[in-house]
Amino acid sequence: MQRLFSFFRRSLFLKVFSLAAFLSIILIYFVGSNVYGRISDGIVEEKISSSISQGRAAIQYAEYRFTIAGLNRNVDYTVIADEVVKSANISAEESGREVALFNAAGKKVAGIPSVSTSNFLKPEAIPSALREKIVASEELDWLPGNLEYVNGKVIPGIFIGKIIEIPRAGKYEMYVAYDFAAQQSNIDLIGRSLWGTGFLLIALILLTASIVLRLVIKPVQVAAEVAESLTAGDLQRRMAVKGEDEIARLGLAFNQMATTLANQISKLENLSRVQQRFVSDVSHELRTPLTTIRMASDVIHSARASFDPTIARSAELLLSQIEKFELLLQDLLEVSRFDAEAAVLSLDRVDIATLVRRCAEDFALLAEEKGTSLRLHGFELEILVDADPRRIERVIRNLITNAVDHSESRPVDINIAENESAVSIGIRDYGVGIAKQYWSRVFDRFWRADPSRSRIRGGTGLGLSIAKEDAVLHGGDIRVWGELGVGANFVLTIPKRVGVPISSIPLSEIPTTAE
């Protein structure tokens, strides 16, 4: 069932086809029901009208017969009554008419039975409500009901009744009943015809919708396939264009867009290659003269004690700036390796808890100078992972440096947590913090939230970017949380085994408490 729902969500054809089927069924059902109701009501109303007219005529004829017979004093009313009742048999097959006579006093008078019905019609089939109305008003009235026979047969119909006066016999209730069997048969036939026509119309509508949808959706499916190919890197894939209609114009526009994108991507790739080559070449070309400058600077720096104080200070500044320049070149070379996808891991079995503790010890003096301290949590046990120790140490050092730089003399917490698949190291400061809109930009190259803010240690602006690349190279990630005036929290997560996916993050970047 889940697979069916998934296919339905991904199929535009199935969605539109199902909608067309649903609307067609609803429309044809309501139209068919309305037509069926009007036709059946018309048939029933016409039958009721004709039955009332025929029933009135039959009762009037019976009254006429009894009145004429009353002129003959030797008449046998039993014969007349029997003829009136049995007159229903003459046309019963054609009109479905039945006749019933009831003595108002409930007794046999002048040889006429107190109850007499035609064709074994049950006397109790006459609706009691109609009999009460007839007895009360003695006028012609009618009521629908069921014609029930002794053999158990039941047919819907209508009863028309009236009190008639029989000479020397008194008042009798006379009822004429007409069944709706023929009308019901016609209504059923019309219903079956409407159902059949409805199913045929639905089939034709769905067939037409299917053909139209295939004509319209097929180019869209082709466009989706071509777009997926372009996304996968096949920039030469294009749509086949036929005709001059809207679909053809869509195909032409799509192909033109694909060509434009391919050209732009090609230009950007060339520009990126030129940029990478430039950075790499410049970095390598600068290393040789920089090495010479560094050697000369070391000589000058070692002899600064014999210089004038101003010159000695200049020697110290010179060495400091050369060291920063060397760091910048190293970072640029590392970035060029990432861009060229030439960075590789030198894996080893590493106790990451020990590695982080050693980094924290190295930064203890720097933290003390800043008026802060490094607090370690959860480092009691050994945690072994497959990692490149040089790259992981570089990431940890960079994160600790940033935390100390921005701690504003508040403590820095370093946490570690693990599960079966991964280990996380969180470095939390309680300093200036990072606004939420900048969380996604902190790993951009050369980006700083506040370029004017002073720093203890000069940075290249590439540290976090390289740290992110190192984490991704291990199959992990670095997540960040921050809030202005509250602090920031960076969490490095790497798998314990390279190539084994991380099932869950051991340590969330959102801290549970804040100092």
pTM: 0.50
Query: Is residue 213 in some structural domain?
Result: no
46 and 105 in a common domain: yes
**Same domain as 153, residue 67:** yes
Q: Are residues 71 and 18 in the same domain?
A: yes
Long-range interactions of 18-24: CB distance < 8 A, separation 24+: 20/205, 20/206, 20/209, 20/213, 21/202, 21/206, 21/209, 24/201, 24/202, 24/205, 24/206, 24/209
Q: What CATH number does residue 321 fall under?
A: 1.10.287.130
Locus of tokens 């048939």: 43
- Judged against a pLDDT cut of 50, whether residue 92 lies above it is answered with no
Say if 513 falls within a structural domain.
no
pLDDT band of residue 93 (cuts 50, 70, 90) is very low
Domain total for the chain? 3
3-state class percentages of the chain: helix first, strand second, coil last, to nearest 5? 55, 15, 25
Q: Is 398 within 8 Å of 469 (Cβ atoms)? A: no
Whole-number pLDDT of residue 392: 94
Model confidence over 121-152: pLDDT tens digits?
A: 898 899 989 988 988 888 899 999 999 988 88
**Shared domain check, 310 and 353:** no
Domain range enclosing 312: 263-339
What is the chain's mean pLDDT, rounded?
A: 83
- Residue that wins the pLDDT comparison between 281 and 506: 506
Mark which of 300, 320, 339 sits at the end of a domain: 339
Report the distance separating Cα 447 and Cα 482, nearest Å: 16
Q: Which two tokens stand for residue 209?
A: 């919708």
Say which CATH number the domain at 67 has: 3.30.450.20
Reported as a pLDDT band with limits 50, 70 and 90, residue 444 is confident
